[in-house]
A and B are shown apart, each in its own frame.
Chain A
Amino acid sequence: MIQRRRQIATLLLVAMIAYSGYGFACSESDVSKVKKKVADAAAILNTSAKSNRSLYQSGVYGPVGSAAAIAKRQQVATAIHQANEWLSMAVERAASLTAGDLAGGKADIVKLLQQAAQVLGTVNVGNENIRLIIVSAVTAINTAITLTLAVKGA
């Protein structure tokens, strides 16, 4: 029984290291990994935009339609919008990425993702819910940056 547990623990450890360090699909190319990380960042930012709307509509920012609530929604939406434009450029750079320019492309994409994370870091509307969502988005983008930098090749 103890040996069986050790085998399961070892298997889980190997799977988690493989997942966190290299992405779960170990056989995919380095270019594909970078593109996937950029898409992951786009997904989390999309979720943030939807969450901002949901928080406004559910009255978390204040009474729906009030000037204060609309101002908070606008402030968060503006930051996400700006971050999304940086991310849009990262997506287009990733689209043209090839194995031949992986090193340069990675650097370009990392700079664009850093700009996106930096814009999001400026948001503060005094609401804990949206703060946590934005922090999650920044963390996800920073993870994408770290994993993009960790991709080997070229």
Chain B
Amino acid sequence: MAATLIGILGAIDTLTPLATQLIGELRQTGETDEQVIARARALVAETRQITTEDMGDQP
């Protein structure tokens, strides 16, 4: 009985990161194509802003 419990708990521990990732994926599957592209454009714009600032000489 204890061994079974340990096995189940071990499986849960192993699968938790995967479950978290899958939940994130499932939430995003509700996006339309337009929303996916809008999100990608926003990410690209934010990355461009960050890197433009960080390429400068300011501390």
| Chain A residues within 8 Å of B, Cβ to Cβ | 1, 12, 19, 23-25, 28, 31-32, 35-36, 38-39, 42-43, 45-46, 49-50, 52-53, 56, 64-65, 70, 73-74, 76-78, 80-81, 84-85, 87-88, 91, 94-95
Cross-chain contact of B47 among A19, A23, A49 (Cβ < 8 A): A49
Task: Enumerate chain A residues within 8 angstroms of B56, measured Cβ to Cβ.
Answer: 74
- Asked if B55 contacts A81 (CB within 8 A), the reply is yes
**B7-59 interface with A by 8 A CB criterion:** 15, 22, 25-26, 28-29, 31, 33, 36-37, 39-41, 43-44, 46-48, 50-52, 54-57, 59
Does A74 lie within 8 Å of B54, measured CB to CB? Answer: yes
Residue total for B at the interface (Cβ-Cβ under 8 A): 27
A31, A36, A50, most chain B CB atoms within 10 A: A36
CB distance A78 to B47 under 8 Å?
no
Chain B contact residues, majority secondary structure: helix
Q: Closest Cβ of chain B: how far from A96's Cβ, in Å?
A: 9
Q: How near does chain A come to B41, taking the closest CB pair, in angstroms?
A: 6
From A1, A38, A56, A74, give the contact of B40 (CB < 8 A).
A38
How many contacts between A and B, using CB within 8 angstroms?
Answer: 91
**Are B44 and A87 closer than 8 Å at their CB atoms?**
yes
CB distance from B29 to the nearest CB of A (A): 4
Contact across chains for A24 and B22 when beta carbons are under 8 A apart: yes
Query: B40 touching A42 by the CB < 8 A rule?
Result: yes
